Amino acid sequence: MSSLLEKRKHELLDAASALLAINPTASLAEIAAHAGIGKATLHRYFASRDDLILALAIRSLTLLEEVITSARLGEGSFTQAFERLVEGLIPLADKFFFLLSEPVVNYDPHLAKAEQEVGLPVEKLVERGQQSGELRTDIPVKWILHVLDYLLYATWHAVYKGELAKNDAPGLVMTTLLQGFGKQP
């Protein structure tokens, strides 16, 4: 695929993920309109909604892997690495969130395996945070990861709606995850 076609496909995927993040049941016609194209043009790229969703999932995993790599999770303390990760993920939360409830993605064994492999460095980072005492050990790693997924989306959504300043977002995510909402003893 030429770089111009690839660029256009990525733009379509970005438009689709942005709409699906705020309207998970959007139709192909709505997605096409949001992208500024006709439904027939969208069908030239993706034959069905399932094809579009699978392409979005693959692109999301690619972007996630890029953010994880650029966050340098093995460098510095857990908190430093985690903050780099959060800063990289917040702007992309719309690309991931709707996938959490998409049946097409949840039942594709290849995507599930790819998602697990891509997310493994984050899981290891959370385990490192528990080992270093920066995270509680009485909370399961998987629970922390689930909370992180939804917290990142909530943060992105609050920024999107103008309820939260973009520059304040990473600090609030870090505070919420590391200190929670409870009163400190």
- Could you give the angle at the alpha carbon of 15 between the alpha carbons of 56 and 54, nearest 5°? 15
Residues above pLDDT 70, as percent of the chain: 95
Q: Which two tokens stand for residue 42?
A: 């969208």
Give me the chain's average pLDDT, please: 88
Local confidence band at 93 (pLDDT 50, 70, 90 cut-offs): confident
* 27-31, 32-36, 59-63, 109-113: range with lowest mean pLDDT: 109-113
CATH architecture of 3-179: Orthogonal Bundle (1.10)
Domain assignments of the chain as residue spans, ordered by start = 3-179
Give 9-55 pLDDT, tens digit per residue: 889 999 998 898 888 889 999 999 999 999 999 999 999 988 999 89
Question: What does pTM read for this prediction?
Answer: 0.84
Q: Which two tokens stand for residue 164?
A: 């939260």
Give the dihedral of Cα atoms 88, 170, 121, 76; nearest 10 deg: 100
SS3 content of the chain, % helix, strand, coil (to 5): 75, 0, 25
